[in-house]
Every structure is written in C-alpha cells, then in structure tokens.
Amino acid sequence: MRARRALSFILSSLIFVAVVGGGRTAAGTPALESSRESARARVEALRRTAEIPGLAVAVGRDGRTIWSEGFGLADLETRAPVTTDTRFRAASVSKVLTVAALARLVDDGVLDLDAPVARWLPELPAAVGRITLRQLAGHLGGIRHYERKDFGPDGIDRRSFESLADALEIFVDDPLIAEPGTEYRYSTFGYTLLGAVMERVTGKDFLTIMEDRVFGPLGMTDSGGDVVERVVPHRAALYQQVDRGEAARPSPDDPSYKWPGGGLLTSAEDLVRFGLAHLRPGYLSEATLAQIFVPQSDGAGVGTGVGVGWRIGRDWRGRPIYHHSGSMSGARSSIVLYPEEGLVAAIVTNMSGAPPLVESTLQLVAEPFLAAAESGPEPPGASAYAWRGRATTQGETLDVDGWLSLIEDRRSLRGAMSVPPPVVERLLAQSYPLTLTLPVLGWQHAGGGGGLVVVTPLGIVFAPVERTPDGLHLSMDVGPVAFELDAVRWPQETPPDPG
C-alpha cells in the first residue's frame, strides 16, 4: 500500500501539477503575509473563545497552498500539538470526497449517474433499485437518515461492518420516506448505498477505491479511513463539549457503516489540495465538473441547492461558492471553494459541533485572502461605547445592555464587547463555554456598508454597523441569539479595557 501511494503521488505530481500545486505554505508578498496575520488572529481568537482543543486551517489559491497552520492541541492528555498533517474526522465532508471517486468512475465510463442502483445491485428491494446514483448523491433518493433506533448500547456505531454491502442491512428494507426524485431528504445512509455500488462495480473495498481514485492521485497523504482498531499516525484525539464548554472524551464509535458519508480522516491541507483540483479540468473532465456543480431540483422543479454532493450557494457577500460541512462525535469540518476567485479554504477541529457556525467562520477566515480594495464607510475609530438593545433567543426577547470598546492597532481596528448576563446564562445552559467578552477583530467592508468581525463561542460572525446621530447601531446574528443594539459614546471617565 505504501509503495502504491508513493507511485501514485509521483505520477500525480507529473500529470496534475498545474491543478494541485505542491508544498506547504508558500512564501508571499507583504499583502499575503498581512492576510495570513489577519486570518491567524481570527482563528486563534476562535480557538480560545470557543475553547476548542485543536483545529487546523488551510487556504489555497491558483493551484497552490498559500497558508496552512495548526492551532492548539491534537491530544489534551499527551499535549501533542496540532500540525499541518494532523488527521481529523472529515465527518460529512466525506461525502464530497466520495463524490470525487464517483466522478472518476463516471469519467472512466464505469458508472452512469443517471442509471438506477439495480443495474449493479439487482438483489435490492425494487423501490430502492429504482434510485439513480445522481439522486443518491443529491439526497433525492428517498433513503432515510438516522433514527433513534440506530443508536444505543448495541447501535450501528458500536459494530464493525466488513463491507458497505453488509451495512445495507441497517436501512435497505425500510420503506422509502419519499419517492425517488421528489423531495430533498438529507441521508448519510444514501451514501452508504452509493459506496456499495462503487464496491460492486470495482470489486474493491471502499477505502481502497478512495486510495486509488482520490487520495493517491491528488497526493492526499494525510487522508484515509477512520479505522478505529488501527494505529493511525497523526490522528487527533476526539472531544465533546460538556458543562460550560469543558472538553471530555465521547463514547467510542465505529464509522465503518458510513465510510462514504462520514467515515474518513483528512487534514485541512489535504482538503485544500482536493478542492483546488476541482476548480479546473484535469483531475476530472470538464463535462463531469459541469455536472457535479449544477444544483438538482425536486419533483416540483424547485432547486435543492445541492448538485452531485456539493452544496451550491453564495457566501456572506454574495460570491458564488461550492461548499460542504460536517459534524460528528469529536469533529467539526468545512470546505469552501470560490470558483471565480480560484480560492479554496478548509477548517477541521477535534471538538463535537464546535464551532456550530462553521460555515460563516470559514468564510470570514478566508476573507482576508479575498478582500480587494474598495470604498465604503470608514470604521468607527478608537472609542468606547455603552449600548442597549434587544437579544432574541429561543423565541424570547430580552432587554440587554453592555459595552463595546475599540482601539486602533497597527492601522487596524480591534477591541471587545461584553456579553449580557441573561445571554451568558442561556448559552451556559446549552453547554457553551463561559464567555463574558467577545473579541472584535477588524472592520470589514461589505456591499457599500461595513461592520465588525466578532468572535463568539459559536463561531466568527459579521456584525453590520450603521452610524446614528448618537453613535452606532449594530446587529449581530449568532445562531441561537440575535442582537439589535444602539451604542452611544461611553459616558464615564474611564472606559472599559478591550484587552
């Protein structure tokens, strides 16, 4: 296996060098160094505020990695640091990795996206056999997702399946929850079925398919299956947040029932290498790339926002993106491709569900590498404000007050804002870390306006700011809590220290 990987990597370097590039973080211009510094500050503030044990981030552009870095600890017990080759659970980002192998089989003429499953697995129930591969990959197959009965002391994640064909017993005899092609119903089990087709048509186990079709050709040397009984070099330990954000080990689980949909390991740098290979033809044909990035539609003709695996949408500034995220025991992950800018970014963590707002977080980490000079309102400047306003959470509206303090630091803006005690109480009740102040890391132009980049326990968010006769109006949506705040200049002689 090691020899095959080495040979695949050498060949891929010769064939696809224009596609995927090579090396670690490339040396850059002062502007690129400034982008890295800004992104690094955001990630480190996120790690501290959300109390994530360890995470890694990478960014690539124009076929090469321009930034890759690890933060925090891969293992709290051994104090092993996160590095650029630390392997994290990809969680549902595994789905787009699987789609790449599927697409290679399509390019080779081995599979047809619009053929029914029964062509390769005729023994399955007739209802399941009617589903096409495209429908499975786009969550239009009508296959159910997880149910409570799947888990428990003897649940599916406590068993080891020899093949994906064996794992089909979990769901394949259950009734479809929708007619194929009619409704978008997210399903990891649908990807188990997709992988079983790939195993049947190639005669190989799924992890070997991934090695041969994806990891080897793209030089993804830190990616593979999360085989729990093996010693895997550089594998990050797994953690979950418990009371007040404290990290604890989750119960052991075995993802062999869902290799294609959530059972792979990878690094942030490997994900960027993978994403760059999807921004131009080479690794995949132009015709196949065009198919996987076209949103499918349901039976009513309504777009689902999902192509062949990939989610198709726009970022917080309206730029087209292809993306996917994942969350599972001991992991949170996300990848985003900016096709018009030729940029890819990825983040992986070793904490269950942290940060919940992983997509906005990743976009705002990538933003320093995307932002161009543009006109817009000037930032507020160094000052302190007292604010009052409303916080809406779980259908309840709270009257809140606090402070916002900003300073100018090396021609940029930074500071902090307080978290109202009623909001702190509600976040603690949901096991988020105890956070009394939120870091503010910069001013961001957007659509002719501007706002603050704020780091919260749930992720990094953009808070639009409007000038008012008395000061500022600030709005901020932090998942379970939305704020509308009016700030006036600090009325007392000594303003709060932003830290």
In the prediction, which pLDDT does 145 show? 97
State the pLDDT confidence band at 9, using cuts at 50, 70 and 90. Answer: very low
pLDDT 10s digits, 209-218: 999 999 999 9
DSSP single-letter state for residue 213: I
Q: Tokens 């596609």 identify what position?
A: 19
State both tokens at 76: 């709290």
Q: Which of 489, 448, 447 is nearest to 468 (CA)?
A: 489
pTM summary value: 0.91
Tell which CATH classification among 2.40.128, 1.10.10, 3.30.70, 1.10.3470 matches the domain 383-489.
2.40.128
Average pLDDT of the chain is 91
Q: What is the radius of gyration, based on Cα positions, of the chain?
A: 23
The tens digit of pLDDT for each residue in 258-268 reads 999 999 999 99
* Axis-axis angle for helices 358-370, 30-50 (nearest 10): 160
pLDDT tier for residue 491 given thresholds of 50, 70 and 90: confident
Query: Between vectors from CA 212 to CA 25 and to CA 347, what angle results, nearest 5°?
Result: 35
Map residue 443 onto helix, strand or coil: strand
Q: Is the pLDDT of residue 335 over 60?
A: yes
The class of domain 2-99+193-370 in CATH terms is alpha beta
Burial of 415-432, coded b for 16+ CB within 10 Å and e otherwise, reads bbbbbbeebbebbbeeeb
Where do the structural domains in the chain lie, given as residue ranges? Answer: 2-99+193-370, 383-489
Least confident of 103-107, 190-194, 248-252, 299-303: 248-252
Distance CA 369, CA 488 (A): 33
- 3-class secondary structure, 422: helix
> pLDDT digit string (tens) for 437-451?
999 998 988 877 899
